[in-house]
């Protein structure tokens, strides 16, 4: 879309991996060129990424961050996470329209298989936990928090790390909670306490504060203050058109292309002042959500049926 961004009034930033980390700088540049508050947009970019990687701990690691902003300041964020253990992806959607808080049920949608109860500090009901975590930083401090944490979950990895000079590497590639050096967690807590975060979003934006630091705070807060941090996974699974990798079933390209064509025509007609097509799509979305709430369909049966239909189309 880059060649058309001035014509459309829509700017796209970010991408996969290292490109995602360039997003705040890109937004600052756009702000200067268009006359928007680039600092606020850059903060939004960092905060949405922190919420989906640290406040919502669902087992999916972010690898894609896309930021869409219009010349009038409206924005949308689309992020994607991957679970290597499950071989599944998950997509997080944010929309500036109607957003009143970054930590009280802020997502416009999270598409992926639900995981049941997870650490979800972006749930409205987690407000007490978030406040308790800030209180812990001010009252107990890093030493007190770690003392309580060790009592909750003694870590063999931490004990082994205390008896250096040995260096024992785990037999897995990804970083897990047990691999975290306690001294580093202490340093992160100290940095957060020193910063004196005014609220939970400010805490999330503290450099070094990630999923493990937030989890430690949430666990101690739950024990000391009785503030729960685990709530229902906000994701709702959408079969959509399948996946490019063939999971949960292959994408039927003919149906995929036809859907894109319908959406493109709807947008083109809307730009010409014809709102009927978009209104029809909104009604379709509302009806699908209503049907979804009442559905008793078994996922595996749906996948099996989609694979059977795909086999017919591929002949």
Reading the chain (315 residues) residue by residue, the pLDDT tens digits are: 778 888 888 999 999 988 899 999 999 999 999 999 999 999 999 999 999 999 999 999 999 999 999 999 999 999 999 988 888 889 999 999 989 999 999 999 998 878 889 999 999 999 999 999 999 888 888 888 887 887 776 554 444 444 444 455 556 555 455 555 566 777 878 878 877 788 999 999 988 888 988 998 998 999 889 999 999 888 876 666 777 667 667 777 788 888 888 878 877 777 667 677 777 777 877 777 776 666 666 667 777 777 787 777 666
Residue 157: its pLDDT value, please? 47
Give the burial class of 185: count Cβ atoms within 10 A of its Cβ; 0-12 exposed, 13-18 middle, 19 or more buried.
Answer: buried
Category of 15 on φ-ψ map: left (φ > 0), alpha (ψ -120 to 50) or beta: left
In this prediction the pTM is 0.72
For Cα atoms 25, 26, 27, give the angle at the middle one, nearest 5 degrees: 90
Residue 162: its pLDDT value, please? 43
For the chain, where are the E strands, in sequence order?
Answer: 10-16, 56-57, 61-70, 75-83, 88-95, 109-111, 117-120, 230-232
Q: Could you state, in order of their start, the residue ranges of all structural domains in the chain?
A: 2-113, 125-232, 253-314
Residue 238: its pLDDT value, please? 67
DSSP 257-279: HHHHHHHHHHHHHHHTT--HHHH
Count of alpha carbons within 13 angstroms of residue 303, beta-carbon side = 12
Residue 84: its pLDDT value, please? 84
Structure token digits, residue 103: 């930590």
User: Exposure pattern of 145-162 as b/e (b: 16+ CB <10 Å)?
Assistant: bbebbeeeeeeebbeebe
Residue 122: its pLDDT value, please? 95
Residue 298: its pLDDT value, please? 66
């Amino acid at each position: 879309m880059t060649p058309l961004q001035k014509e459309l009034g829509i700017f796209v930033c970010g991408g996969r991996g290292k490109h995602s980390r360039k997003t705040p700088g890109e937004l600052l540049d756009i702000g200067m060129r268009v006359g928007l508050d680039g600092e606020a947009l850059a903060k939004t970019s960092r905060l949405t990424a922190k919420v989906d990687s640290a406040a919502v701990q669902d087992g999916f690691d972010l690898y894609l961050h896309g930021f869409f902003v219009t010349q009038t300041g409206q924005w949308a964020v689309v992020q994607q996470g991957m679970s290597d253990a499950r071989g599944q992806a998950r997509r997080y959607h944010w929309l500036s329209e109607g957003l009143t808080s970054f930590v009280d049920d802020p997502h416009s949608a999270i598409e992926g298989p639900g995981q049941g109860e997870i650490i979800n500090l972006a749930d409205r009901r987690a407000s007490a936990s978030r406040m308790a975590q800030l209180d812990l930083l001010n009252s107990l401090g890093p030493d007190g928090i770690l003392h309580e944490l060790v009592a909750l979950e003694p870590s063999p990895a931490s004990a082994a790390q205390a008896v250096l000079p040995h260096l024992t590497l785990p037999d897995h590639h990804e970083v897990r909670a047990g691999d975290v050096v306690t001294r580093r967690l202490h340093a992160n807590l100290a940095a957060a306490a020193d910063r004196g975060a005014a609220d939970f979003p400010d805490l999330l934006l503290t450099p070094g504060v990630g999923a493990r630091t937030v989890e430690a705070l949430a666990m101690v807060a739950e024990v000391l203050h009785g503030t729960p941090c685990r709530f229902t996974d906000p994701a709702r699974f959408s079969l959509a058109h399948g996946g490019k990798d063939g999971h949960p079933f292959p994408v039927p390209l003919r149906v995929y292309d036809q859907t894109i064509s319908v959406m493109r025509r709807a947008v083109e007609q809307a730009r010409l002042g014809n709102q009927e097509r978009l209104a029809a799509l909104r009604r379709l979305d509302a009806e699908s959500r209503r049907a979804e709430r009442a559905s008793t369909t078994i996922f595996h049966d749906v996948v099996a049926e989609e694979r059977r239909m795909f086999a017919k189309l591929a002949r």
